[in-house]
Structure formats: structure tokens, C-alpha cells
Amino acid sequence: MGTKLRIGVIGANLQGSWGVSAHLPAIAALEAVDAVAVATSRQETAEATAQRFGIPNAFGDPRALIDHPDVDVVAICVRVPAHRDLVRRAIEAGKHVYCEWPLARDTAEAQTLLDAAEKAGIVHMVGLQSRSAPVLTYARDLIAAGEIGRVRSAGLVHSSDWISAVFPGTEYLQDRSSGAHFLSIPGGHSIDALTWMLGNFKSLTSVVHTALNDLTAFGTGAPVKRTSADQILVAGMLDSGVVASVRLSGASSPGIGVRIEINGDKGDLVIMAAAGGRGIQMSNLTLHKSVDPGVLEPVSVPASYFHTPASLRANPPMNVGEAYLHMKEAIATGGRASPNFADAVGLHKLLDQIEMEAI
């Protein structure tokens, strides 16, 4: 491996893929990493993406990308049901792996990937990009430094219209068995951000409900059944002694986005999405602090918390770019990336607990 981290991105179709909207722009803006290959399900779409971004290698078979000698890191940005086989293949090839969240369809599948990655000794990272967001990182540091005193309680609200217009090819996002649904994707990202800042749940109770069961496919009018929850309430106690609540609404129109309120005995912090309806991991977040009862003032994040170019600021690629820089450092120093597959397994288990504890 040279001075640049050479990345191959699987799942990079120009038509609306996360690989194209977040990963490739992030890589293109960073001096420390380089996109050397892309793969999609068809050779012609891979070549179109490669031409757009000036990438030397394009493959219609992701296995060819994994096996290419110029690829140091395999970034897996495809649908969740395909994660397991691609991650396994990359691990077997001795490649470092960045896999988008959710890591797998369920906890058992995620555990097998963690075990394989640890045995192989590769650096592994999961795409819980909220942990790379400068606003959340700064808020976490302020809390740890006692800026608002002892934290007593916290609440998170996420509301959005979870793909009620079902476009062709997105039906799987309504299917609980796919592992890619409202609780696992926007819910998982939001809950991970909260627990990363304040600590894990020690105990909880929950309500898990589907308000919108019957959907219609856009363009065809065909019926689509939603088998995953779109209304989730969680209340519990964190390891840190903080009383925490989470409300996730995926049947709102249009939704207000994300709001996290953290209450301490010397003040409060509030984190909000600048625009509604998007997941916390891709939202433009703002930070506020209470100064007087009912009065919030904006808090500026110090420049030292931003490691990506200004061109990536306030865009979804920013958090992905921050994550790649951390991964490069872990590989260079022989350390562990964070968040990694172990963090992913922990979050999978927490989401299982939320469903199992439902009243």
C-alpha cells in the first residue's frame, strides 16, 4: 500500500446510489485516499460511473474488484441482503472493509462477519457516519468536559416520510426480513448517535407499531405490504444513569427531521437537523445551548473538528470523508477503526432488544 489509501467502491450506479452521492465525492475531495475501482451489477453502468469520476477500473462483477491487486479497501454500498457474501469475499481476499450500515440482515449474520474479520486481522469499519459528524463529536466532548454539568435526561425525536412512494426496486425497504427498514436504517443511525454520546441502554421498554401497512407502487399502482415498524417509542435508563427516550416516526408527512435534547444540571444542549425528513447521518446538523430559561443560542463548532475540505461541508459526503480519514489512520498505525463491526453487532443487538421488549 502506498501513501494513498486505494479504495474500490461496490454499489456505485449513477442513478441514486449512496456510493455515488456520498462515497465517491468524499474520496475525490480527499488527498489521502483514492478511488481506484468501482463495481455495479452491469459493466456499462460501472464504466459510466468510472468515466464520471475519472476512476481507472470498472467492473460488472464485484468479485473482480475485490480481487484486484490495486484495491486496499473494499467499500460495500449495496443493498443490505447482499452485504454478507461481499464482506466475506473481501475478508477472504485479505482486504480491509468499509461496509455500510446495517452490517447484515440480522445479528447472527453480523456476528459471523465480525468473527471472520477479527480472525483475518483486517481493519473493518461500519458506516455509522453520525459518529464522524463534527457537530456530534463536539457535543460529545462538551458533555464529557462537564459543559452542562451532570446529564440527567435526554430525548431524541426523528420523524420522516419513510418511502411511502414506493419506486421500482425499493420494495425491500418495507420488508422487515431484508434488514433494511425504518427501524434499522434511520432508527439505527439515530439511536447510535444518542448512545455514542451518552452511553448504552442498561434497561428499556418500547412500543413497536406499524401505522401504514398498505402502500402503492409508484407508476404501477401495485399493492406493497409494509411488514416493518414505522412507529417506535423507547424509554429507559442508560449505563451512565441518564433517563433517555427515543421516538421514531416513519409515517409523517413530510416530517421534521431530527432533534436531540440533552438536559444537564447546569444547562442543556439541543442538536437539530437543518432540514426535515433526512436521516441524522446525512443531515446538516446545528448545535445549540441553553443560556436562559426558554432561550437557546447557537454554538459554533471549532475548526479543529473538521478534517475534510470546505467543499464537503454541509453535504452528506462530509461524514463519509471523515470516516475514511480515520480508517486510513487505523490502517497506517495498526490500530482499530471506529465504528467497527463490533459496534455494528452491538447496535444490531440493541435493535433486537427494542423489538423484544415491546409492550
Same domain? For 69 and 160 the reply is no
Same domain? For 250 and 323 the reply is no
Same domain? For 26 and 102 the reply is yes
Same domain? For 118 and 136 the reply is no
What is the structure's pLDDT at 274? 64
Same domain? For 263 and 138 the reply is yes
pLDDT digits (tens, 9 = 90+) for 173-202: 899 999 999 999 999 999 999 999 999 999
What is the structure's pLDDT at 56? 99
What is the structure's pLDDT at 255? 72
pLDDT digits (tens, 9 = 90+) for 263-275: 999 999 999 986 5
Domain holding 288, by residue range, is 131-306+348-356
Is the per-residue pLDDT at 110 higher than 90? yes
Q: To 10 degrees, what angle do helices 341-356 and 107-120 make?
A: 160
- Give the whole-number percent of the chain exceeding pLDDT 90: 83
Into how many domains does the chain fold? 2
**Mean pLDDT score across all residues of the chain:** 94
For residue 106, give the nearest of 179, 173, 172, 208 by alpha carbon.
Answer: 179
Q: CATH code at 170?
A: 3.30.360.10
Same domain? For 59 and 176 the reply is no
How far out from the chain centre does Cα 278 lie? 12
Higher pLDDT, 344 or 169: 344
Q: CATH code at 10?
A: 3.40.50.720
What is the structure's pLDDT at 1? 52
Over range 297-308, report the average pLDDT.
Answer: 97
Q: What is the DSSP letter of 174?
A: G
307's grid cell: 478534517
253's grid cell: 408527512
The Cα 146–Cα 353 span in angstroms is 30
What is the structure's pLDDT at 167? 83
Count Cα atoms within 13 angstroms, Cβ side, for 133. 31
